[in-house]
Amino acid sequence: MSNCIIAQSGGPTAVINATVAGLVKANQLNPYYDHVYGGLHGIEGILQEKFVDLTNMSEEENRILKQTPASALGSCRYKLKRDNVADFKKLIEVLDKYDIETMFYTGGNDSMDTVAALSEYAVKNGITNHRFVGCPKTVDNDLMHTDHCPGFASAAKFIASTALQTWLDYNVYTRQEVFILETMGRDAGWLAASACLSEHVDLLVLPEDEFNEEAFLAQVKEIVEKTNKCYIVVSEGVKYADGTYLAAKNAQNDGFGHAILGGAGNALKELILSTKTAERCKVQDLSTAQRAFALTQSLVDVEESYRLGMSAHMRSCDGKFTGKMVMVTRKPGEYYDVEFGAVDASEVANYVKSFPKEWILDNYRGISEEAKNYLRPLIAGTPTILMENGLPAYVKPYYMR
Amino acid sequence: MSNCIIAQSGGPTAVINATVAGLVKANQLNPYYDHVYGGLHGIEGILQEKFVDLTNMSEEENRILKQTPASALGSCRYKLKRDNVADFKKLIEVLDKYDIETMFYTGGNDSMDTVAALSEYAVKNGITNHRFVGCPKTVDNDLMHTDHCPGFASAAKFIASTALQTWLDYNVYTRQEVFILETMGRDAGWLAASACLSEHVDLLVLPEDEFNEEAFLAQVKEIVEKTNKCYIVVSEGVKYADGTYLAAKNAQNDGFGHAILGGAGNALKELILSTKTAERCKVQDLSTAQRAFALTQSLVDVEESYRLGMSAHMRSCDGKFTGKMVMVTRKPGEYYDVEFGAVDASEVANYVKSFPKEWILDNYRGISEEAKNYLRPLIAGTPTILMENGLPAYVKPYYMR
């Protein structure tokens, strides 16, 4: 008899629970594990033995879990420090106590570092009865090796839809107007770039490009003079050449040593108005909604997230799979298709996959056709969302039960 | 032979074009008018004879127009002043020149004032060959007489969905957290109140209530102490007892004498943090997206908006209908149903229908069940949205052709 546990870490996405639903469903199709536990609030909850039993989840709950945004098991930003032996020992004790053979951990590169650290610790200490498997999720799409990350595409679809629809809105008056859409993206510009799928972004400001005020304002000026309008998309993580954030005034710290950003859009607005480059400027910061708005999930995204959970389960049934992150590889060919694979979590941990420089057009003029060809298939398809009283049905978070 | 013209005014909505589509379709079903013209950029464009001919719109274009947000004919904020006789004369000249029997004008209370002023001018000057009909639209839902306004429900659905989904998101961490969702609503709290359909709003701050810092902070404190969290929704138009806006720092003027608001959410955040009522506070301002996000239109809203356009056309076929606004009346009974009617535009112009005081719970604790029973049927149903490359298909704005 053995069990498994799944826990979620880091920022939520619109499809993060689909991976949990897929894993639970896989174990119902092939009950390799006696129990599928959910660990509440990531590694923190596991250390405190805060579990729920997901083994016998009903088909209805499974279906609604797939469309419920935000970590239904709760999340944490707790980072297992490699020199904190007490935490490692405690965790192994808990896994022993509950006969947990495999721990699945969904998250970004910090979570993959946790998976790598735990599997290294197990190897080093001759622990063979516990295994650690990572499942990628991040709206930022900045994990290495995987073609893309579950969660990214639904956020991209929401961003591109909002860009398209607010572009239609800001055009209705004849007056001069600049619109700035701010997206998430601390280190990588994938989310901001996805707005270009609307085909209406005039200027795109990415963290991959050092921000140059003069060059940027010259572009705004040129476009406003020509069209009386300018639609700008900016990523929260844009920096000047000296490394300071455009939104530096608001910078704080989130405990992982990352700055908490926000306000790049307002910084651009101030720049544009104070230099009289344009008369009128509106900012929309998509904030939390861009990662939480599951009502418009991408079908590709939610199905891949689900299958990734299934694939993680199925791979783990060999009794050896550990220290790996399950990933998505795009198959070559005219039509979009993927296969699932695995990579050492240590090769993902603490790296960032930037938006490719060669996909960025000069003078903030957006992204190349190649970039759009990469992005476009990811936002395809509309899943059927079950509704209740006019709003999306959702599963009550397990940590609230 | 006679023609009609339709034009759009004021801020766009997610279903504003459905009224145009319905009117065009009605004339195809019963060609009372030889031509259905669209006036570009409201009254401004009509004065400049900027028209498009919509008479023979294809069924496909009609269908996509219904789901295209933001005034496809362009909008304006130009107000016909009653003492500006030159404008009135010029307008009648244009209508004469193009044999326009009926002018349909979609908009809010300023637009209904235009309809009233024009029909009064016609009566006063013995002009019998031109008629003026108003079609309500406003996300603010603040027009008198009509049970609700086309455009409101889709915005309400987007707001309530976002409230639900960001509520799920802000709960995932165990840390203390206050979330503030800011909605539009200059004078009336309908949009902010609709967030309560999520059933997760702890505190609701409406323009109908004088804002009391102490009373509000006491509620925040109580909820945070009890649950470690607090989900707050605030309308942009909230005022102190002395009439100053919570967001006063950012107040400007839009030309109609209305303040341009924004920042009520940030004002609350500053208040909460500076008084140490909570440690952490995040603001999401829904801004333009709440009125432009047509991908999640309410089925009730878009169909009513369409039928309102049809009803306006059909009523006008009596050759007498003028100075009226077409409106929606809710029928009594257990199940939601409406009938269409008409009211003098002068009875709508320049009035504001506030959110009923008796529907507001004490201590910012949201809205009554009666209020929810009013709101809930409006957001029901999901129309089929035609997609193109993963994004909602849309009609290219007529003013760009």
Query: What mean pLDDT comes out for the span B227-248?
Result: 94
B400 contacts in chain A (CB < 8 Å): 171
Domain end among B269, B292, B315 = B292
- Cβ neighbours of residue A308 under 8 Å, at least 6 residues apart? A19, A22, A135, A136, A150, A326, A328, A340
Amino acid present at A240: Y
Q: Where are the beta strands (DSSP E) in A25-168?
A: 35-39, 51-53, 100-107, 131-136
> What is the rounded radius of gyration, in angstroms, for the C-alpha atoms of chain A?
22
A140 classed as catalytic:
yes
The catalytic position among A87, A110, A140, A187 is: A140
Q: State whether the Cα torsion B236-B238-B240-B243 is positive or negative.
A: positive
Q: What is the DSSP letter of B356?
A: P
Domain total of chain A? 2
Q: Which residues pair with B188 in a beta bridge?
A: none
Give the model's pLDDT for residue B254: 45
Q: Are residues A248 and A174 in the same domain?
A: yes
pLDDT, tens digit, 9 for 90 and up, residues A24-79: 999 999 999 999 999 999 999 999 999 999 999 999 999 999 999 999 999 998 88
Q: Are residues A280 and A302 in the same domain?
A: no
Residue A262, phi then psi, degrees to nearest 5: 145, 140
Rounded CA gap, B220 and B328, in Å? 38
Residue B356 lies in a domain: no
Residue A366 lies in a domain: no
Give the model's pLDDT for residue B106: 97
Q: Are residues B334 and B308 in the same domain?
A: yes
Rounded CA gap, B45 and B65, in Å? 20
Looking at B185-298, list the stretches that DSSP marks H as alpha helix, in order from N- to C-terminal side.
190-194, 213-227, 264-274, 289-292
pLDDT, tens digit, 9 for 90 and up, residues B297-350: 999 999 999 999 999 999 999 999 999 999 999 999 999 999 999 999 999 998
Q: Are residues A166 and A139 in the same domain?
A: no
A173 contacts in chain B (CB < 8 Å): 41, 74-77
* Furthest CA-CA distance within chain A: 72
Q: Are residues A109 and A230 in the same domain?
A: no
Q: Are residues B340 and B240 in the same domain?
A: no
Q: Check if the beta carbon of residue B211 is closer than 8 Å to that of residue B245.
A: no
Domain end among A251, A269, A292 = A292
The catalytic position among B87, B140, B187, B202 is: B140
Chain A 361-380, residues with CB within 8 Å of chain B CB atoms: 376, 378-380
Q: Which residues pair with A281 in a beta bridge?
A: A178
Give the model's pLDDT for residue A46: 97
DSSP string, A231-271: EEEEETT-BBTTS-BTTGGG-EE-SSSPEE---HHHHHHHH
CATH number of the domain within which B227 lies: 3.40.50.460
Query: What mean pLDDT comes out for the span B220-237?
Result: 97
Residue B56 lies in a domain: yes
Token pair of A59 as six digits: 């088909």
Rounded CA gap, B145 and B52, in Å? 32
- For A341, counting Cβ atoms within 10 Å of its Cβ (0-12 exposed, 13-18 middle, 19+ buried), the class is middle
Residue A205, phi then psi, degrees to nearest 5: -115, 115
pLDDT, tens digit, 9 for 90 and up, residues B168-181: 999 999 999 999 99
pLDDT, tens digit, 9 for 90 and up, residues A222-254: 999 999 999 999 999 999 999 999 987 444 444
Strand bridging mode A387-388 / A391-392:
antiparallel
Rounded CA gap, A107 and A71, in Å? 10
Looking at A276-368, list the stretches that DSSP marks H as alpha helix, in order from N- to C-terminal side.
289-292, 299-316
Helix (H) or strand (E) holding A387: strand A387-388
Whose tokens are 């008018």? That residue is B33
Q: Which residues pair with B177 in a beta bridge?
A: B229
pLDDT above 50 for A128: yes
Q: Are residues A74 and A114 in the same domain?
A: yes
Q: Which domain holds residue A240?
A: 155-292
Q: At what angle do helices B85-97 and B109-124 cross, to 10 degrees?
A: 80
pLDDT above 70 for B250: no
pLDDT, tens digit, 9 for 90 and up, residues B188-212: 999 999 999 999 999 999 999 999 9
Residue B366 lies in a domain: no
Residue B48 lies in a domain: yes
Say yes or no for a CB contact (<8 Å) between A172 and B397: yes
Q: What is the DSSP letter of B295?
A: G
Please indicate if any CB of chain A lies within 8 Å of the CB of B385. yes
Whose tokens are 């990588």? That residue is A188
Closest-CA residue in chain A for B154?
A390
Q: Are residues B302 and B227 in the same domain?
A: no
CATH number of the domain within which A78 lies: 3.40.50.450
Q: Check if the beta carbon of residue A341 is closer than 8 Å to that of residue A327.
A: yes
Q: Which residues pair with B116 in a beta bridge?
A: none
Amino acid present at A127: I
Closest-CA residue in chain A for B196?
A391
Q: Which residues pair with A51 in a beta bridge?
A: A39
Which of B255 and A112 is assigned the larger pLDDT? Answer: A112
Q: Which residues pair with B260 in a beta bridge?
A: B252
Domain end among A259, A274, A292 = A292
Give the model's pLDDT for residue A18: 98
Give the model's pLDDT for residue A254: 45
Q: Are residues B328 and B266 in the same domain?
A: no
pLDDT, tens digit, 9 for 90 and up, residues B36-94: 999 999 999 999 999 999 999 999 999 999 999 999 999 998 888 888 999 999 999 99
pLDDT, tens digit, 9 for 90 and up, residues A217-228: 999 999 999 999
Q: Are residues A308 and A179 in the same domain?
A: no
